[in-house]
Amino acid sequence: METTTLAVRTGGDERVVDLTAQVGDALDAWGAVEGLLSVFVPHATAGVAVLETGAGSDEDLLRALGDILPAAGPQGRGWHHAHGSPGHGRDHVLPAIVSPSMVVPVLEGRPALGTWQSVCLVDTNRDNADRTVRLSFVRG
């Protein structure tokens, strides 16, 4: 198995970060041809997703997450997990909705994604500006 970590600076804003180019660079460095790529974010307040970016879907995802996980908490009653900035409890629920891991097939040295799909980090936590993403590749 080949493995590496990516350091991703998300800053103090909610954001979706496209990792597809960095995933491709790692596969190139490993001389990957076919196999499975695990993408994992070892944080309690972030996730990874496959989605279209650049056409508004990333902003739509963040808006939808804001609707599902409002900063004020369910029905405006707050979050039980209350440390950090206001609304931070929602960030700890995020990985139950946007998984912290995924497996992507690799064919001919590239992630086998659809035309408009990208591998993305989803981070709503404004308290942690630096993230780590672990890539692990198992040859087929």
DSSP state of 75: G
Q: Can you tell me the mean pLDDT for 122-139? A: 95
pLDDT band at 43 (very low <50, low <70, confident <90, very high): very high
* Confidence check: pLDDT of 84 > 90: no
pLDDT beyond 90 at 94: yes
Instruction: Tell me the per-residue pLDDT of 116-125, one tens digit each, with 9 for 90 and over.
Output: 999 999 999 9
What would you measure as the largest C-alpha separation in the chain, in angstroms?
Answer: 51
Could you tell me the pTM of the whole model?
A: 0.93
DSSP line for 49-67: EEE--SSSHHHHHHHHHHH
Spell out the residues 6+ positions from residue 38 whose beta carbon is closer than 8 angstroms to its own: 101, 102, 103, 134, 135, 136, 137, 138
Binned at pLDDT 50, 70 and 90, residue 16 comes out as very high
With CA atoms as reference, report the closest residue to 3 among 34, 32, 26.
Answer: 26
Mean pLDDT score, 71-78: 85
Name the pLDDT band for 19 (thresholds 50, 70, 90).
very high
Cβ neighbours of residue 134 closer than 8 Å, sequence gap 6 or more:
3, 4, 5, 6, 38, 39, 40, 41, 42
What percent of the chain clears pLDDT 90, i.e. is strictly above it? 81
